[in-house]
Amino acid sequence: MRNNIDSAELDRLISFSIDQSLSRSDAQKLNSLLENSAKARQRYNDLHETHTALCELFPSKILRDSASALAEAASFPSREAAHSSFMLPNKIGPMIKWVTALSVCILIGLTGFLIGKNRGDASIGLADLTRTEPVSTTKDTSAKTRAWGGVESTLAGHAVLRKTINVSWPNTDSKITDGSLLPPGSLTFASGVAVIDFFCGATLVVEGPAQLDVISDWAVSVENGRIEATVPPAAQGFTVKAAGTDIIDLGTRFALDMSEGKAQVAVIDGEVLLRGNQFDDDLLQAGEQTSLDRESVDSDLLSRIPQLDAIEQQSTDDRKKQYFTYRHFMKELAADPRLIALFPAEKDFNGRCYPNIAQTNYASAGQLLGPVETVPGRFEKESVGVLMSRPGSRIRTKIDGTFSAYTFSCWAKINSLKHEYNALFLSDGYENGEPHWQIRHDGKLMFSVMVDDSQKLFYSTGPSSPPIQDKGLHHVYFSESVWKPSMSAQWVHLAAVYDPASRSVTHYVNGTVACREEIKDEFAIDTLQIGAAEIGNWGQPFRKTPDFAVRNLDGVIDEMIILNAALSSDEIHDIYVVGHAH
C-alpha cells in the first residue's frame, strides 16, 4: 500500500472534490490515490468531515454551496460522480484551506459563548469536529463501522425487553431496564414477568424463574421458565429450542412450560412443527399439547402460563396506582417554599400552556412554541410529555427573583443526542448567576453558571492566528458519560445540584450520584438568577443574526422541577422513586 504521497497535491484534489469541480484527469488522480493509500483515504475523511461539521455550525453561503453535495455522498467520489461534476465552476477550491482554518478559529472562540466553557476545556469543540452522529458508546453490544466519508453507528441486538413486572434480577450488574436491546446471550431472572419483542415480530411473555439464551432474531433457547409465544404471520418460522426439540411456529400462539423439571408444549391457536429428539416434523395443532421428554402432560398446563392480555391489564392497573401516588407527591411538593418552578407530568394541558403548579410566584407557566407535540408520558395514558425533536420546538418561561442555590430535576426520554449540545434547561442571555444545563453528544451531562460576564477572556488559536474572545468567566461541570444509544427511548431521571454554600456541583442519574465536583474560588458565585429561559432548547432571542445554535433535545420531557435549594441525595432519590413508572 503506497503511503509516500504529495500532500499538497492531495489537498488540492480533495479541495476540488469538496467543491465538485474536479476535472476528468484530476478525478482519475484522486481515485488512484484513494485506492492505493490508506493515508490518502484518512486525509480525505478528515477534510470532508471537517467541512461538513463547519457547515452545520457556521452556516454561510460559501460553505453551504458545497455542503449540499457532501450530504448526498459520504464515500469518496466515483468516476461517474467526477465526470458529472467536472464542468461546475470552482467557487471555493483555492480558498478551502483558509476558509477551514478561519472557521476552526471562530469555532474555538465561540464554543465558550455557545455552551459556557472554561479555559481548560476550550479544545473540545475542535476535537469533535469530525464526529458523525450518532456514535454508540456501548462496549459489549455496539460497534461502529468506518467507511470513507463517515461513521455509521451499529448496535448488537436481536430483541427488545418491552417491559418487566416485579422482575428479580440475580444481581445489580445483570439488571436490564425496560426498552433495552437484548444482544445474543443469556437472559436470567429469579421471579416476575418479562415481555420480549423479537425483531422478526414474535413476542414472548416469560415468567420466572427463567433462563433463556437469545440466539438470533428468529430463535431462542429455553432452559427454564413458563412462556407464552405470540407469532404473527410475518414471524412464521420463529423457533423456540427446548429439551432437545425445535418448536417451529407456523403463525400461532403456543405455551411452553420448562419449570420444575417439566418440558411441555401446548398450542393455543394455529399450529407448530416439532423437530428433533422424538419428533420428526410432527404437527401440533390448536387445542393439542404434548410432552417434550416422554413424560405425561398435565391437564392444567395452560392455567400456569402467563397470558399477555392479563399482563397488559395488570400493567395498566399498576401504572394507575403509581400515577395516583405520583400526583399526591407533586401536590405536596408544590407547596414547598423552596420551589422555584414545577412543571409536572400532568395530562390536562390548556392549549399551548405548560402548567407551573408551584405555589411560589417566581415562574410563569411554560409556553409551547414551534412544532412541539404532546405525547404519552412516563405513565402512558395517565400523563403527558412534550416531544421536541424538531429544531424550532421549545418551551419558554420567565423566572424572576434571586436565589442562593439550584436543584434541577427532570424526566427525559431521549431518542438520540444528534447535536453537539442538547438542551435540558438554558437561560437566554447567560448573564451573571444564570444556569445552563444540557447533555453533550457523548452522553456527558453539563452544568454551568455564569460568574462574571464582564470579563474579557481570550483564547489562543495558534501562533499565527489572532486570539478569540469568550463570553465571560464561567466553568462547565461535566459528568462521565451517562447515556448511550442503546438507551434510546428509555425514561431516565436526571438532576443537577449547584450548592455555593458547600462549594460543590453534583450530577444525578436515576436517583444515584453520577459525579460531584468542587466549585473553586475562581468560579464561586452566591447570587443566582434565571430570567427568560427555555426547557429543551436554546433560542438565543437576543442574537443579531438569523443563525442560531441548534440544541433542541431529540426526545420527550414530561417533568421539570427547579428549587432554590441544594437537595440532599436522599431527597433526589425520593423524587426518582416516586416518579419511576415500572
CATH of the domain at 558: 2.60.120.200
Q: CA–CA separation, 100 vs 80, rounded Å?
A: 27
Shared domain for 292 and 318, answered yes or no, is no
- What is the band of 274 on the pLDDT scale with cuts at 50, 70, 90? very high
Shared domain for 298 and 358, answered yes or no, is no
Which of the listed ranges 80-89, 242-251, 318-327, 502-511 does the model predict with the highest average pLDDT? 502-511
Query: What is the percent of the chain with per-residue pLDDT over 70, rounded to a whole number?
Result: 76
Q: Is residue 139 part of a domain?
A: no
- What is the band of 541 on the pLDDT scale with cuts at 50, 70, 90? low
Q: How confident is the model over 549-563, as a mean pLDDT?
A: 92
Q: How many CA atoms are closer than 13 Å to the CA of 84, on its beta-carbon side? A: 6
Shared domain for 187 and 265, answered yes or no, is yes
What does the DSSP 8-state code read for residue 501?
Answer: T
Shared domain for 362 and 299, answered yes or no, is no
| Coil, helix or strand at residue 423 | strand
Tell the burial category of 72 from Cβ atoms under 10 Å away from its Cβ (0-12, 13-18, 19+).
Answer: exposed
Q: Is residue 99 part of a domain?
A: yes
Q: Is residue 146 part of a domain?
A: no
Q: What is the pLDDT of residue 290?
A: 92
Of 270, 291, 306, the position where a domain reaches its end is 306
Shared domain for 187 and 116, answered yes or no, is no
Shared domain for 499 and 464, answered yes or no, is yes
Q: CA–CA separation, 206 vs 11, rounded Å?
A: 59
Q: Write out the DSSP string of 329-378.
A: HHHHHHT-TTEEEEE---S--BTTEE----SSSSBPPEEEESS-EEEEET
Shared domain for 318 and 280, answered yes or no, is no
Which of the listed ranges 47-51, 92-96, 146-150, 561-565 does the model predict with the highest average pLDDT? 561-565
Shared domain for 290 and 384, answered yes or no, is no
Q: Is residue 508 part of a domain?
A: yes
Q: What is the pLDDT of residue 127?
A: 30
CATH number of the domain to which 287 belongs: 2.60.120.1440
Q: Is residue 544 part of a domain?
A: yes
Residue 400 has pLDDT above 60, yes or no: yes
Shared domain for 302 and 321, answered yes or no, is no
- The better pLDDT of the pair 61, 262 is held by 262
Q: Is residue 403 part of a domain?
A: yes
Shared domain for 348 and 439, answered yes or no, is yes
Q: Write out the DSSP string of 520-571.
A: -GGG----B--EEEEES----TT-SSS-------EEEEEEEEEESS---HHH
Give the angle subtended at the CA of 513 by the CAs of 511 and 517, to the nearest 5°: 145
Of 287, 306, 325, the position where a domain reaches its end is 306
Peptide bond into 391 cis (omega under 30): no
Q: Which of 5-9, 158-162, 550-554 has the lowest mean pLDDT?
A: 5-9
- What is the band of 166 on the pLDDT scale with cuts at 50, 70, 90? confident
Structural domain tally of the chain? 3
| Coil, helix or strand at residue 89 | coil
Q: What is the pLDDT of residue 125?
A: 32
Shared domain for 513 and 570, answered yes or no, is yes
Of 280, 306, 332, the position where a domain reaches its end is 306
Q: Which domain holds residue 113?
A: 7-127
Residue 272 has pLDDT above 90, yes or no: yes
Q: Is residue 1 part of a domain?
A: no
What is the bridge-based pairing of β-strands 339-343 and 203-216? unpaired
Residue 165: φ, ψ to 5°: -130, 115
Q: Which amino acid is at 343?
A: F
Shared domain for 317 and 301, answered yes or no, is no
Q: What is the pLDDT of residue 534?
A: 94
- What is the band of 227 on the pLDDT scale with cuts at 50, 70, 90? very high
Digit-coded pLDDT (tens) for 243-271 = 999 999 998 899 999 988 889 999 999 99
How many beta carbons lie within 10 A of that of residue 392, not counting itself? 14
Q: Is residue 437 part of a domain?
A: yes
Of the candidates 189, 202, 135, the one whose C-alpha atom is nearest the C-alpha of residue 162 is 202
- The better pLDDT of the pair 7, 130 is held by 7
Q: CA–CA separation, 317 vs 365, rounded Å?
A: 31
